[in-house]
Structure 1
Amino acid sequence: MTPNDPPAGAATLIERRTIEVVPESERHGTPFNQFTLWFGANMQITAVVNGALATVFGADPLWGITGLLVGNLLGGIVMALHSAQGPRLGLPQMISSRAQFGVFGAVLPLVLVIVMYLGFAATGTVLAGQAVDEIVHTDMQGVGIAVFGVLTAAVAVLGYRHIHALGRAATVLGGIGFTYLAVRLVTTTPHLSSLLGAKPFDGATFLLAISLGAGWQLTYGPYVADYSRYLPRLTSPRTTFHCTLWGSVIGSQWSMAFGALVAAVPAASGAGFLDNQVGFLGRLGGGGTVAMLVYLVVVVGKLTVNTLNAYGGFMSIVTTVSAFTRERHVSPRARSLYIIGFIAASVLIADVASSNFLSDFKNFVLTLLMVFTPWSAINLIDYYLVSREKVDIPALYRPADRYGRWNAVALGCYTVGVVAQIPFLDQTLYTGPITKALGGADVSWIVGLVVTAGLYLPLGRSRSRAPEQMIYPEGFLEPSTPGAPAEVGHAGSTSRP
């Protein structure tokens, strides 16, 4: 333990743990907390916008909703497999990827992860800032964005326990709020059912809807285990997997299906969702006091997921820096400064964000798919099929130890996985030749997942660096810990393969 560590089992107002392994004595919570966190984080307006994109870019709402469901399920399975690593490892997600890429090599995907968090934090802040402006009745540019940034920083600094508490609140408020809005949509929109199935099935837009759903889920992968790492070590991985999966899939599909329907309505009646997403929801709620409550639901939902982005961004920055400084612990003061700096950057980006929000957001999500599906494939293949859930945790912090500075095999497979997707891309700046032949269907993420997994599995097995048993740091387990499996080793065990 470091001098800044809390006493064993103590709960502190501000979280003390950062990138170090969470000791068994500080583990707490149940897998159901994963359900409420991810359900609440997905019952929010950016998920509504993501679902609306399926309709905006040409899909029939019925087929768009179906495609989104397929994508959420496929991406959710991958995302939940990452979450199931948390209780066993007790580590932030990106620290564990050093076991595949090497201590320095993991910095490459980490830099991209930080960019992702900044992008999502900024786009979320744009919409939440609009809701805050409506609540406080101000026309001054940037006020709502700044207020929301302060709220995000406060919860992120407090840390893990408060993030989960916010997720529980967002689950209740989001469930009530979006149910009410869905009822209002059905009861105030004439002939809404006639909008479903009005267009014939189109393969390209159906695949786009799948990609939007899958991309939404897969981008949680680099930080999902950050929020399961405090669960007791013997927590069932299966239970953690299912609680995370269904919380995220149900919450996101609920929001996205609502978005696909809402986007179809202005196409028929000119109601204006595309021009002012937040204002449209307020008007749909009925205006007045009810609209204020709808804006509050928007703010709480966005605050939940934006806090995840800030917390995950902080963890990724510290993980990157610690690869070179070899630090394992960050002081509360440094932690706060990292988070405030990250939030300040996201607020600045949000303040100058492009007005072409929907199109930019669609391209942002699909671009992230290109760089994160190969990372997910390598991380999951290595953890479950190559290492078989055995990791030398102390070696993750030592460049000269088992996992080394760089892992050329993983980095090579990652590069191939990214490059293999280029002919299948459908972006504003570039459309791949195979995508054109497919009528505009972007299936690059499928190609990246399959190619990377197929390449890494045999190569990873032939050059595995995994230990024969799980190795934890000294003092991780109390001597009297009941039910400790015999396979668990400690830092005193042989650390080189």
Structure 2
Amino acid sequence: MAQLVELRSIDVVPDEERHGTAFSQFTLWLGANLQITAVVTGALAVVFGGDVVWSVAGLLLGNLLGGAVMALHSAQGPRLGLPQMIQSRAQFGVRGAVVPLLLVIVMYVGFFASGSVLAGQAVGELTHTNDTTGIVVFAAVTAVTATLGYRVIHALGRIASTVCALAFVYLAVRLLDRADVSALLHDAHFSLPVFLLAVSLSASWQLAFGPYVADYSRYLPRTTSAKATFWWTLSGSALGSQWSMTFGVLVAATAGERFLHSQVGYVVALGGTGLAASFLYFVIALGKLTVNVLNTYGGFMSLVTSVSGFRGQRRLSRAGRATYIGLVMAAGTAVALLGKDSFLSSFKDFLLFLLTFFTPWSAINLVDYYLISKERYDLPALADPHGRYGAWRWDALAVYAAGLLAQLPFLATSFYTGPLVDPLGGADISWIVGLAVPALLYRLVARRPAEAGPDPDREASPSAARRTAS
């Protein structure tokens, strides 16, 4: 059991502890995306006015575009041996990185809550209790799994990818048996705003993984091909999400109000009753457990990174680890219990809210890592506010703010609509602006030469990693 409990947190993973292959990213991200919230995300494209054909096409485009950005972050893990968000210190400063970190923590809590609402319904049915009890039980299991850490998380991904894939095949057969797919496919009417909404929904789904995707590739050997890591991550995440979202589109198009009234209940009823229903409730809980563990683990990493930027802490005790994870669980559970009766109406705006705040961060991080620093960071300096990267990088923070502001004229949500949305026919293209503007601005203002950071192959050697982690 002791070998299952992860000891590392935000410190560098030394060579002797590296293991696995890039294929592990495929099974993890396939399992994390074959789940009920992805089904709901796909259904939203139809709920808000799309037809089946163009909703599926828009979701596919968004999954590929957003998934490519997310997979570029994943490829950083084996090279640096670090969690994702601590790398932001190279762009924003050791303490300045707390700005995007706070927003990332909000994301983790939000996704933990939304996942707990749906999983809580399934757990409540399995335990013959109610949604509230189901949410609490599910949150406790999530916290224990996240505390065990990296190896257990990947093992859970392998199990979920197999079990959930079989369940989705079964559900697809049941759905196609009762749906008039031919009529749905012929009822195609292209609308640019609705198409772009579908693209934005799936792109935001993928981009939201960006702030923690390297957390689950950082134990791979340094010799792992960046291309292999990229393609296995992209294929697992895009395939799993598109599969789930396409199913959601078909369910929403055929079920209408019955699905909107009870997402979990309808999907389970589609599969049958008795033992089949119990199995599907278990599958829903398993799929949500996989991704909620990622949210909890990522939230724990982000909290530690935020605090350590001011305290200088590099290692964490088991008690400290459990405390941070408990904080994420408590916050997510509280939000889930408060919002469980209005889940679907607020989820779309939550996804688009995330997209607004994380596209500038992704653009800055990727431009810095691949184009400016040439994949070379001074790893010890990431923990030193008086070192190479400083405490606050005001140029990067200004670019981040500019990226946020640049999106506002193009943003379309229920609580705010930008002035350029109507001239574009109601289309929301804020996420495209949020990637392009900060990428260009950061490339202009951040002129750190490639030689500014030592070679991570040398820095990540066993002796260097031990110095960094001490």
**Aligning the two structures, in what range does the TM-score lie when normalised by the shorter sequence?**
over 0.9
Kindly provide the CA deviation profile for residues 445-464 of structure 1, in whole angstroms up to 9, marking residues without a partner as x. Answer: 00110111111112222x45
Q: Provide the residue aligned with 1:4 in structure 2.
A: none
Q: 1:337 deviation in Å?
A: 1.3
Distance change in 2, residues 1:490/1:322 (3 Å): closer
- 1:170 counterpart residue number: 160
1:483 matched residue in structure 2: none
Contact 1:394–1:473 under 8 Å retained in 2: no
Could you tell me which residue of structure 1 aligns to residue 430 of structure 2? 444
Q: State TM-score, norm by structure 2.
A: 0.97
Partner of 1:7: none
Which residue matches 1:154?
144
Deviations 1:419-466 (A, max 9, x none): 0000111111111111122222111000110111111112222x4586
Matching residue of 1:421: 407
The 5 Å alignment of 1:367-378 reads 367-378=353-364
Residue 351 of structure 1 pairs with residue 337 of structure 2: yes
The answer as to whether partners of 1:95 and 1:319 remain within 8 angstroms in 2 is yes
Determine if the alignment matches structure 1 residue 37 to structure 2 residue 28.
yes
> Separation in 1 of the partners of 2:167 and 2:68?
27
Match of 1:467 among 452, 459, 466: 452
Is the Cα contact below 8 Å between 2:14 and 2:466 reproduced in 1?
no
User: Are 2:79 and 2:456, in contact at CA under 8 Å, matched by a contact in 1?
Assistant: no
The CA distance in 1 between the partners of 2:462 and 2:358, in whole Å, is 37
3-state SS of 1:426 partner: coil
Identify which of 249, 253, 259 aligns with 1:260: 249
Could you tell me whether the CA contact under 8 Å between 1:391 and 1:466 is conserved in 2?
no
CA distance 1:60–1:326, change in 2 (3 Å): same
CA RMSD of aligned residues (A): 1.8
- CA distance, structure 2, for counterparts of residue 414 and residue 93 of structure 1: 17
Q: Match of 1:232? A: 221
Amino acid at match of 1:106: A
Q: CA deviation at 1:473?
A: 8.7
Are 1:179 and 2:165 an aligned pair?
A: no
> Corresponding residue for 1:27?
18
Residue 477 of structure 1 pairs with residue 467 of structure 2: no
Distance 2:29 2:429 in 1: 26
Q: Which string of whole-angstrom CA distances, capped at 9 and with x for unpartnered residues, describes residues 93-145 of structure 1?
A: 00011001100110000000000000000000000000011111223x51100
Map residues 226-375 of structure 1 onto 2, 5 A cutoff: 226-267=215-256, 272-353=258-339, 355-375=341-361
Which residue type is aligned with residue 379 of structure 1? N
Q: Distance in 2 between matches of 1:129 and 1:75?
A: 28
Stretches of structure 1 that go unaligned for 5 or more consecutive residues are 1-9, 480-487, 493-497
Asked if 1:95 is matched to 2:80, the reply is: no
1:471–1:489 contact (8 Å) kept in structure 2: no
Tell whether the 8 Å contact from 1:374 to 1:452 is kept in structure 2 after alignment: yes
Is residue 210 of structure 1 aligned with residue 194 of structure 2? no
Please say if residues 174 and 271 of structure 2, whose CA atoms lie closer than 8 Å, have aligned partners that are also in contact. yes
- Which residue matches 1:193? 182
TM-score by length of 1: 0.91
Deviates more, 1:436-445 or 1:90-99: 436-445
Q: Could you list the structure 1 runs, at least 4 aligned residues long, displaced by more than 4 angstroms after superposition.
A: 463-466, 471-474, 488-492
Matched positions, count? 468
Verify the 8 A CA contact 1:390 1:469 in the aligned structure 2: yes
Change (3 A) 1:90 1:194: same
Aligned equivalents of 2:458, 2:385: Cα separation in 1: 16
Tell me if structure 1 keeps the 8 A contact 2:113–2:336: yes
Name whichever structure is richer in helix by fraction: 2
Find the aligned partners of 1:432 and 1:122 in 2 and give their Cα distance.
28
* Partner of residue 495, structure 1: none
Match of residue 39 from structure 2: 48
**Distance of aligned partners of 1:471 and 1:87 in 2 relative to their CA distance in 1, 3 Å threshold:** closer
Aligned 8 A contact 2:55 2:198 in 1: yes
Q: Is the 8 A contact 2:13 2:465 kept in 1?
A: no
Which of 13, 17, 32 is the matching residue for 2:8? 17
